[in-house]
Amino acid sequence: MAELFLSENVWRMVRRVYRKKRFLFDDARNMTRHDQKQFDWLVENGFFLSIGDDWFEPTEKAKLAADLGAYQWEPSRTASTTRSGQEK
């Protein structure tokens, strides 16, 4: 397990909405061209939960990461490889 830090733009998205019960994508936007890609990453990695009709809610992971911008990451155990790319 590793502790990773969110980039500043992603962290600001989390900070804008982590206290709300529900929010729309527009509530979290930074008004940059990378917003949609970064928002999708947050949804895929469990920071925001889609509750339908373009509404989202922050998860406990988002609330923990909002303070310092750090989160716990654990790599998937499906295929572990060595540095040379060969399976262990």
Task: Report domain extents, the chain.
Answer: 2-73
- The per-residue pLDDT for range 36-88, each reduced to its tens digit, is 999 999 999 898 999 988 999 999 988 888 877 766 666 766 655 556 656 55
Assigned CATH for 2-73: 1.10.10.10
Is pTM beyond 0.85? Reply is no
The per-residue b/e assignment along 47-59, b for 16 or more CB within 10 angstroms, e otherwise, is bbeeeeeeebebb
- The per-residue pLDDT for range 9-33, each reduced to its tens digit, is 888 888 899 899 999 999 999 898 9
The Cβ-side half-sphere exposure at 68, using a 13 Å CA radius, reads 7
